Chains A and B, each alone.
Chain A
Amino acid sequence: MTIRRRGILTTGAAVGLTLGIGPARAAKKYGPGVTDTEIKIGQTMPYSGNASAYGVAGRCQAAYFRMINEAGGINGRKINFISLDDGYSPPKTVELARQLVERDQVLLLFYCLGTQTNTAIHKYMNQKKVPHLFLATGASKWGNPKDFPWSMGWSPDYHTEGSIYGKHILANAKDPKIGILRQNDDMGNDYLDGVKEGLAAVWKHVVADVTYEATDPTVDSQILQLRASGANILLNISTPKFAAQAIKKIAEIGWKPTHYLMSVAASVGAVIKPAGMENAQGIITAQYAKDVTDPAWATSPDFIAWNAFMDKWNPTANKLEGSNVTGYASAVTLVEVLKRCGDELTRENVMKQAASLKKLEVPLLLPGVLINTGPNDFYPIQSVRMARFEGDHWVLFGDLLSRDAEA
């Protein structure tokens, strides 16, 4: 009898609890991968293979999430960050994305790296309606909310960068003869398409478009072809290793074109230093993030915070590698989005919050470079400043150039 009564009492209490607390937390809605204590996030990253230099970003982000978890997580939930190696190989990316979505049941994929790798899972992610957020590629196709409402890029797209170089060439060169060096794959082609739109006004001045294969040992022959074409402007659309080779070879043969280096290959630590600082003087690039070698930022609070983070949480990383900056800043952006989701951590709400960032200031982005998104604007960062390599770091010049303002 007693036992029975106690049973009823417990049941009653349980009902009371459900009724009492239920309405108070009515907003608590979870999608896959989320519990009261955890948010599961997936990623594919080239830790091995050709593009493995970029794997630095994934390691930096894992370190950042560890720091966030140590400090109590996001609204009390710890981040469970599953970052897998796809070796920069699209079929592998597909396999891993399926594994992350279907087996691990992650809430979202974050900062997957590579143009062709992300292209391979673009449709899949949108069919499955899983957020495919802040991708580490500058292709323009990620900003298409009408057809692909679940994918969103992060860094300025190639179109933005191309149009800015185009304007700079028009304004500064008297008799422009443009030579293009690019990698013959999805990355190079996509970059070229973006740049082509941006360069529409100066496209007739292109005198040579020379490609190399990612398997080529050197680009020496290509550089000679470019010089022989009579180009006085070089648009260098190559990955870090080949960019470094090109910079060195150009100096060796005494060619002196105005050299525009795509921002993906403009890392001081990974490209300029190996190529030789003396060979890189005067190269022009576009930047949206702070160059940590620039003494101008040494006293800015975000740099100090980043520096402390790197020392404590990511001590083995080389601070000169640009991926430690972009990896960090993009992770901060994601954490901000997740914070704003509050207790409604559904895939729908993640996309909604990601698409309603207004003038968000993110550490380590250049002053004035703000993140703006909207239901029809899936390009988070669209402002850059031009920079010229002088001495041992990039020196910014000119005004903030923005495609937002243009539109």
Chain B
Amino acid sequence: MEFFIQQTAAGLTSGAIYACVALGLVMIYVSTDHINFAQGEMAMFATYIAWMLIDAGVPFWLAFGLTALIAFVGGLLIQRFILKPLETAPVLALVVCFIALLSIFNALAGMIWSYTIKQFPSPFPQYDISGHGLVSVQQLGVVAVTLVMLGILTVFFRYTTLGLAMRAAAQNASSARLMGVRVSWMLALGWGLAAAIGSIAGMLVAPIVFLDPNMMTGILVYGFAGALVGGIGNPMGAVAGGFIVGVLENLVGSYIIGNELKLTFALVVVVGVLILKPAGLFGQIIVKRV
């Protein structure tokens, strides 16, 4: 029983990480209608910036805020300069562009900061609440920050005009434009926000998995799984999906199929969900007029 609880707790921690990454993916999807493969690498790159700031003596939370801001501007600039010219390009061109961004960020980080893993300070104390290594403040912190981010995003998209405009811009650009929404800027804003969320995910993940240029590569796959299971158009669903994937992966890995097939299992779950409920467990089916 203790083992079960421990595995569940560990699953919730990795689940929180997946949820963070999934949130960034959902953010881009909701605001631009695309899936950004470079999301993980952008987050990693931002985390390195945070690491440099902290290394230079900036207090953690200030560096945290600054990095989110820098990432926001960075995301905005990427959209303005790289993706804006591609706004009318076919989806495949965009996918290639995202993959290019992925390897550019990865290689740049390796060049600048080398591939040796770096310790990233945690804002939360390494304090163990239960005494059995069950739940540490670090783990709770990650979960808490994820939930706060989720809350802010939900409110933003559901109850603010800007959020509504962004959703409209993504889902039906021409109608939105007719309604007076500046579509192109909404897309840029979406990129900025997604990059900022990604940077926060990166900064939460780094103390646990250590900072290196390949930090997010593995996590991104699970993030996708989480986002798809929960519904890629729904922030709340993505977070729930992240937690579900994290816990299921651990339990199934420990009790049923062994550690070798954990990733396979996550992908099978994705395929299963997509077949049975294509919009994800918590997703809304969006009907598009063609």
User: A179 vs B167: C-alpha distance in the bound complex, in angstroms?
Assistant: 52
A221 adjacent to B254 (CB under 8 Å): yes
B199-220 interface mask toward A, CB cutoff 8 Å, 1 = contact, 0 = none?
0000001001110111001110
Q: Quick check: which of B91-99, B110-118, B153-161 contacts chain A, the rest being far away? A: B110-118
A215 adjacent to B221 (CB under 8 Å): yes
Q: Quick check: which of B58-66, B255-263, B273-281 contacts chain A, the rest being far away? A: B255-263
The verdict on A213 contacting B221 (CB below 8 Å), with A48-B110, A52-B110, A221-B253 known, is: no
User: A52 vs B14: C-alpha distance in the bound complex, in angstroms?
Assistant: 24
User: A274 vs B110: C-alpha distance in the bound complex, in angstroms?
Assistant: 17
Cβ of A252: which chain B residues have Cβ within 8 Å of it?
126, 128, 133, 136
Interface positions of A from 224 to 267, Cβ below 8 Å from B: 224-225, 228, 240-241, 244-245, 252-255
Cβ of A32: which chain B residues have Cβ within 8 Å of it?
none
Cβ of A225: which chain B residues have Cβ within 8 Å of it?
3, 7, 254, 259
The verdict on A213 contacting B10 (CB below 8 Å), with A53-B212, A221-B250, A241-B212 known, is: no
B114, B116, B210, B214: the one contacting A245 at CB < 8 Å is B210
Count how many chain B residues have C-beta atoms less than 8 Å from C-beta atoms of the other chain: 42
B17 at the A interface (CB under 8 A): yes
Which secondary structure characterizes the binding site on chain B?
helix
A49 at the B interface (CB under 8 A): yes
Cβ of A215: which chain B residues have Cβ within 8 Å of it?
217-218, 221, 263
B128 adjacent to A254 (CB under 8 Å): yes
A213 adjacent to B260 (CB under 8 Å): yes
Cβ of A56: which chain B residues have Cβ within 8 Å of it?
114-116
When C-beta atoms are compared, the residue in chain A nearest to B261 turns out to be A213
A50 at the B interface (CB under 8 A): yes
B119 at the A interface (CB under 8 A): yes
User: A330 vs B280: C-alpha distance in the bound complex, in angstroms?
Assistant: 54
Cβ of B212: which chain A residues have Cβ within 8 Å of it?
53, 241
B260 adjacent to A220 (CB under 8 Å): no
A273 at the B interface (CB under 8 A): yes
Cβ of B133: which chain A residues have Cβ within 8 Å of it?
252-255
A318 at the B interface (CB under 8 A): yes
Cβ of B263: which chain A residues have Cβ within 8 Å of it?
213, 215-216
A217 adjacent to B117 (CB under 8 Å): no
User: A240 vs B262: C-alpha distance in the bound complex, in angstroms?
Assistant: 21
When C-beta atoms are compared, the residue in chain B nearest to A269 turns out to be B116
User: A55 vs B111: C-alpha distance in the bound complex, in angstroms?
Assistant: 11
B259 adjacent to A184 (CB under 8 Å): yes
A213 adjacent to B259 (CB under 8 Å): yes
The verdict on A48 contacting B209 (CB below 8 Å), with A211-B259, A224-B3, A252-B126 known, is: no
User: A214 vs B254: C-alpha distance in the bound complex, in angstroms?
Assistant: 17
Cβ of A255: which chain B residues have Cβ within 8 Å of it?
133
B210 adjacent to A221 (CB under 8 Å): no
Cβ of A269: which chain B residues have Cβ within 8 Å of it?
116
Interface positions of A from 191 to 238, Cβ below 8 Å from B: 210-218, 220-222, 224-225, 228
User: A53 vs B213: C-alpha distance in the bound complex, in angstroms?
Assistant: 10
A86 at the B interface (CB under 8 A): no
A270 at the B interface (CB under 8 A): yes
User: A214 vs B210: C-alpha distance in the bound complex, in angstroms?
Assistant: 14
Pick the most buried of A48, A56, A184, A221: most chain B CB atoms within 10 A of its CB.
A221
Cβ of A271: which chain B residues have Cβ within 8 Å of it?
117
Nearest chain B CB to A315 CB, angstrom units: 13
A40-63 interface mask toward B, CB cutoff 8 Å, 1 = contact, 0 = none?
000000011110110110000000
A321 at the B interface (CB under 8 A): yes
B214 adjacent to A274 (CB under 8 Å): no
A282 at the B interface (CB under 8 A): no
Interface positions of B from 224 to 272, Cβ below 8 Å from A: 250, 253-254, 258-260, 262-263
The verdict on A220 contacting B218 (CB below 8 Å), with A184-B260, A274-B117 known, is: no
When C-beta atoms are compared, the residue in chain B nearest to A241 turns out to be B117
B288 at the A interface (CB under 8 A): no
User: A216 vs B221: C-alpha distance in the bound complex, in angstroms?
Assistant: 10
A244 adjacent to B117 (CB under 8 Å): yes
B73 at the A interface (CB under 8 A): no
The verdict on A221 contacting B222 (CB below 8 Å), with A53-B116, A254-B128, A270-B116 known, is: no
A220 adjacent to B10 (CB under 8 Å): yes
Pick the most buried of B115, B132, B214: most chain A CB atoms within 10 A of its CB.
B115
The 5 closest A-B pairs by CB, nearest first: A253-B133, A52-B115, A215-B218, A274-B119, A220-B10
Beyond the given A56-B115, A217-B14, A225-B7, please list 18 additional residue pairs across the A-B interface where CB-CB is below 8 A. A48-B106, A184-B260, A212-B259, A213-B259, A213-B260, A215-B218, A221-B10, A221-B11, A221-B250, A222-B259, A224-B3, A225-B254, A240-B117, A245-B208, A252-B126, A253-B133, A274-B117, A275-B119
